[in-house]
Structure 1
Amino acid sequence: MDDTPSPHQAVLDEVAPRLRRLRARRGLTLAALSETTGISKSTLSRLESGQRRPSLELLLPLAAAYQVPLDDLVGAPEVGDPRVRLTPRTLPNGGTAVPLTRGPGPLQAYKMLIPDRGGEPDPRTHEGYEWLYVLEGRLRLVLAEHDLVLGPGEAAEFDTRLPHWFTSADGRPVEILSLFGRQGERMHVRAKPRA
């Protein structure tokens, strides 16, 4: 009798470590994932250790929680178009944000187009840490007692518990990249020093 595992069994054997890696990359605990999916922590733990066979009823909520195609969870071979479909969101200030990260996790990236808000600054605070990079235009950033103007190629990073507000600095829309992380998470940028 041949003891060679079937191709399907080999794919199923890879689901557990794939689920473990995906959760670790997103920085999620079993408790947080359980709360999001409605799957018990013990079931999630058994899935990730390979003690529980993955089923469609368990994989579908996990794919939804991670915001990845089901194929990514089971390791289906790549087929067709590799492009990521991005869905722009309209911001309350009339700007546009395009999420560059697909799923929940400790770090979220956005490309944003920010119009001139006009008027007086209205700084806000919230939990988190943000890194901004100006792609095009000029950004006015009011951060605590600072009132700064950043141009293309300039970046700023700050704890969002500080009062902050930003807009276009010259009446024309400004295009930025924004990385937003949970409290205490800082960006690590390596750049060649200016000569």
Structure 2
Amino acid sequence: MIPKYGDIMTSPPFPRSGVCMDDEETLFNVRESNLDTGLRGIPVGTCQTSYVDPMEGVHYVGYPVEDLVDLEEEDVIYLLLFKELPTKEQSDKFRAELVHRAESLPTGALRVLESLTPGSGHPMDWLAIGIMALGTAEATGDVRADSMNLIARMPELMARVFLLRGGRKEQLKPRNPELGLVENFV
């Protein structure tokens, strides 16, 4: 008999050999009433930078995400790092610091990405490898400095992953320091 979806089998559909699960000791029983199939109202992680309210939506550092969509990306990053929106002067200084930190990807990290076979693996695997290579090549031990370096270099890293994985190395272009993070990625 071939089982159909939802059938309850009283005997196994295939012959068994060796030790079967029926011969093993039961460690504990789980009943349906023991299962909580949702995490509504149960905190599974806490975060100081954001929260989600089922009625009010996503908030970053207390600001509804709708209020942040028209800001420059660098200003939202500033908000997440420093817990306040930047003034014009702070925004300009922060942008300049990101531009300075993004001047070049470490050669070792570039070699790691270039050694991968185009078309292989998932793009997220390539990105993870690139992030690890960046961290290995230039970790300072200062969490804020390492975070800023990674943020500043992510657009170029993602663009390289996209082009190298696609076998289009010849389309790589140098980043333009006059452009912001997103514009350099595009």
Name the TM-score class by shorter chain. Answer: under 0.3
TM-score using structure 1 length:
0.23
Higher strand share: 1
- Whose radius of gyration is greater, 1 or 2? 2
TM-score using structure 2 length:
0.24
Higher helix share: 2
